[in-house]
Amino acid sequence: MIYLPLRFSRLRLAICSIFLLLFIGQCQSQFRPPQVQILDADTVGAGFQFIRQDLNEIENRTYLEPVFEKLFLQRTQGGKKISIVHVGDSHILGNFLTQEVRDRLQREFGDAGRGLLFPYKLAQSNGAKDFLAESNIKWMGANCQRDLSAETNFGAAGFKLTTTNPGAELTFRLRDTATSESRFFTKVTVFQRKSSLEYDLEVRDDASKQVAQLFIEDNFSRSFFFDRPVGAVTIAAKKTAPEQRTLTLDGVSLENELSGIIYHSIGVNGAKYMDFARAKYFARQVADLEPDLVILSFGTNESQGTTEPAYMRKTMDLLISQILESSPSARIMLTTPADSYLRGRGLNPHMAEMSEVIRKYAKDKGYAIWDLFHFSGGENSSTLWKSNGLLTSDSVHYTKYGYALQGKLLYQSLIKGYNGFVEGKR
């Protein structure tokens, strides 16, 4: 990783800002008790009797103690950034589930930024709705699930955009399309693999007339910093050598340089464990997100047909080993999916077996496991999910309310684990 020199004025401003943020963090932490109260708004209420909230706990939670320790220090002292990377299929892609977890964790531990984004619409895909992405050109888009090669050319987001247009520009605005709420950031990390054929980049904000300064780069990403917080960023191709003729983007991460939680959500429609394991640059670029915890949420698509348990374990092992090779200090948590129909047409006989394979694999390896399938009704409970308005008409994906409910449950389990850790410190 290469650190590029900053202008003296910016360096002086950065040093002052760091001292100010540390002071603010210390002041805020003095008024927060170590344990976190689970509010009524964080629960799913009493209207869903088939969901056993009393059983909603992370198994093998002691494995996550390094994460809980960092959360404890952030809540009581400040100055810590906790990076969570949540990877999965279409259930994660829409961001409905993960936004519930992100908002609540940032409420209790501080907001360090939005995290990894991708302009899904430009790649002809659905995606999160808490930001806008637009471009002056048409891009070529693809994802790791559509490419069936033994090894695929994808990175952190599981998607990529490519163009040969030297005038290409891509603008992100952190504005929630539902609430019109804007968020601000100062750090922009562009996931672009280094090559003599790749255009250089200009990263700017037209509203504040700032051009961000390149500060850190390696062969897989470049990080830029603005002097003042911005709500939008334009990433523009910049041809600086005659051999440059393409621009490939694997994703963009937006941070605000404050302490707290940064919760990256990564999803691809139809994805399985193997799709991300085949993505050549995925684990290496995820390492640049500096994950403390990696949550893997797959199983629905493996259950849409017969998947041999041995093959399932092999694909889980392959992906996790790649992640840990690049991010050895990261902790792994697996989740099982809530029940759903088989290709939308009837009760799925494979869901229970695949969920048990995931659970047993996590137990054998010593990883943490959040067994949503078990405590949310188990086999054939999809009829209950559907009758309660939690499954969409395709009977595979959940409604926005269904995903929000799952997000609350995941948040509860994390806080129960954290509070148990804090109690053990007394």
On the question of a common fold for 55-112+259-426 and 116-257, the answer reads: no
What pLDDT shows up at residue 182? Answer: 85
Q: What is the full per-residue pLDDT of the chain (426 aa) written as tens digits?
A: 655 554 444 444 444 444 444 444 444 444 589 999 999 999 998 889 999 999 999 999 999 999 999 999 999 999 999 999 999 999 999 999 999 999 999 999 999 999 999 999 999 999 999 999 999 999 999 999 999 999 999 999 999 999 999 999 999 999 877 777 889 999 999 999 999 999 999 999 999 999 999 999 999 999 999 999 999 999 999 999 999 999 999 999 999 989 999 999 999 999 999 999 999 999 999 999 999 999 999 999 999 999 999 999 999 999 999 999 999 999 999 999 999 999 888 899 999 999 999 999 999 999 999 999 999 999 999 999 999 999 999 999 999 999 999 999 999 999 999 999 999 987
Q: What is the pTM assigned to this prediction?
A: 0.93
Torsions phi, psi of 328, nearest 5?
Answer: -65, -20
CATH number for the 55-112+259-426 domain, one of 3.30.70.3400, 3.40.50.1110, 3.40.50.300, 1.10.3720.10? 3.40.50.1110
DSSP 212-241: PEEEEE-SS-EEEEEEEEESEEEEEEE--S
- What distance in Å separates the CA atoms of residue 297 and residue 272, rounded to the nearest whole number? 9
What pLDDT shows up at residue 426? Answer: 79
What pLDDT shows up at residue 390? Answer: 97
- What distance in Å separates the CA atoms of residue 410 and residue 42, rounded to the nearest whole number? 10
Q: Where are the chain's structural domains?
A: 55-112+259-426, 116-257
CATH class of 116-257: mainly beta
User: 4: buried, middle or exposed (CB in 10 Å: 19+, 13-18, 0-12)?
Assistant: exposed
- What distance in Å separates the CA atoms of residue 179 and residue 320, rounded to the nearest whole number? 37
What pLDDT shows up at residue 3? Answer: 56
- What distance in Å separates the CA atoms of residue 387 and residue 74, rounded to the nearest whole number? 42
For 189, residues 6+ apart whose C-beta sits below 8 A from its C-beta are 221, 222, 223, 224, 252, 253, 255, 288
Output the six-digit token pair for 377.
């009704």
Give, as one character, the DSSP assignment of residue 262: E
Q: Are 61 and 368 in contact (CB under 8 A)?
A: yes
Any idea what the Cα angle at residue 221 is, between residues 217 and 222, rounded to 5°? 45
Bridge-partner residues for 347, per DSSP? 341
Helix, strand and coil percent figures for the chain, each rounded to 5 = 35, 25, 40
